[in-house]
Amino acid sequence: MEIKVLTAPGLGSSGPLHWQTLWEQSIPGTRRIEQTDWDAPVCERWIAQIEQSVKAAGPQVVIAAHSLACIALAHWAAQSKTKITAALLVAPADAERPGFPAAAVGFSPIPLVKLPFKSIIVASTNDPYCSLERAAFFAGKWGSRFVNAGAKGHINSESGLGEWQEGQNLLKELVQNWPTL
């Protein structure tokens, strides 16, 4: 069975130097879950795009989500019957924090139920969009392994991670007998 990787960018999508974009270019079988509106997201629409992309990819899919897409994926998992193999949830954006963008609609309350697939949450000690403690709280509620990545900001292109080998190693960890990345 071929395992595919779907990237799920957050608010504003992922630019050319973001690790998700670089993975799409360097890891065979990796595709982006495209959204119709990256700048004024509506959770229900994002969930529908996740559903459509997962169904098209098939059950042997791993999702590498970033920021607001982590929250959208939690919403999707709470209501979908479609299966995935696992998810790498990187720098979840806390949609319940003060100052959360008003343009993003329907992402709170954040589902706090165990995810029906293996998952790892990666968080940074200095992420401006979610405290390390809050990310660890999500990990506990979602049944995810928690990884403290240290001071890496929002774990995005501004973090200067390039292809982010640490993240690729975590992705491999989620799936046994993973093909070479």
In the chain, how many domains are there? 1
> Does any domain span residue 24?
yes
pLDDT value at 57 more than 60: yes
Asked, for residue 137, whether it belongs to a domain, the answer is: yes
Q: Answer whether residue 63 shows pLDDT above 90.
A: yes
Give residue-wise pLDDT tens across range 64-79. Answer: 999 999 999 999 999 9
Q: Looking at residue 2, what is its pLDDT? A: 63
In a domain, 16, yes or no: yes
The sheet carrying 86-90 orders its strands as 30-32, 4-8, 61-66, 86-90, 118-123, 145-148
- For residue 64, tell me if it sits in a domain: yes
CATH (domain of 67):
3.40.50.1820
pLDDT tens digit sequence for 119-155: 999 999 999 999 999 999 999 999 999 999 999 999 9
What is the pLDDT at residue 175? 80
Residue 48 lies in a domain: yes
* Tally of CB atoms within 10 A around 159: 20
Whole domain around residue 48: which residue ranges? 4-174
pTM comes to 0.94
